Chain A
């Protein structure tokens, strides 16, 4: 089966500019996650969707970050305006299980590497 797709793979912007990332999860997966992975660190959860609803966005910097999953399939993550510390890899993952399941094996996309200058 096809994996999680993300685009673009790389993006370079200047601080204060805006940027958007796109994710297409594995077909049939109800739960979608966005993670931020700073160089040398493990991924950190930003937001979690079940279908088109937000389950957990407690770690999302809402003054500049936003995400949506309007039709319960694809998702976009936006940063506006970007700061230098936003330089990271942004990973999308999806899971067949619902967010409240005790077991939810997540499948990750290749990520988008963002560099903010």
Chain B
């Protein structure tokens, strides 16, 4: 079936260090993958996405890696800052005959130690 899951529910990182958030997926039909950041009391906010035919994509302080062989996705945040504290969701986009839809995983909470 369609599912996106995360390896760890919580992650604590020292301020200034790099953060790595991992995600496993099971649907080979996904055409692209997205990472969202959700702060308390807010809706999910788009961070970065990657098409299924790519292995790596970089943004500002963030890098997403896709390993289709093992169906694994990761989000790397460089020089983690207090403002990075949030829940991070990986999600997959699936395009079917009638529509495209996004399926979310269960999230990883990232906390920053001063």
Residue of B nearest to A93 (CB): B43
Q: Which segment, of A14-22, A69-77, A94-102, faces chain B?
A: A94-102
B32 contact set on A, CB distance < 8 A: 102-103
> Is A104's beta carbon under 8 Å from chain B?
yes
With A and B bound together, what is the CA distance between A102 and B93 in angstroms?
Answer: 8
With A and B bound together, what is the CA distance between A105 and B42 in angstroms?
Answer: 17
Are the CB atoms of A91 and B100 closer together than 8 Å?
no
Give the B interface residue count (CB, 8 A). 24
With A and B bound together, what is the CA distance between A42 and B43 in angstroms?
Answer: 11
Are the CB atoms of B106 and A56 closer together than 8 Å?
no
A110 contact set on B, CB distance < 8 A: 41-43
Give the A interface residue count (CB, 8 A). 26
Question: Could you say which of A42, A50, A101, A110 has the most chain B C-beta atoms within 10 Å of its C-beta?
Answer: A42
Residue of A nearest to B43 (CB): A108
With A and B bound together, what is the CA distance between A44 and B99 in angstroms?
Answer: 16
Which residues does A use to contact B, with CB under 8 Å? Answer: 4, 40-45, 48, 50, 55-56, 91, 93, 99-111
Which residues does B use to contact A, with CB under 8 Å? Answer: 4, 31-32, 41-46, 49, 89, 91, 93, 95, 98-107
For the complex of A and B, list the 7 residue pairs with the smallest distance between their C-beta atoms, beginning with the closest: A108-B43, A42-B104, A99-B99, A55-B99, A42-B89, A108-B44, A43-B104
A-B contact pairs, 13 of them (CB 8 A): A42-B89, A42-B104, A48-B99, A48-B101, A50-B99, A55-B98, A93-B43, A100-B100, A102-B32, A103-B93, A108-B42, A110-B43, A111-B43
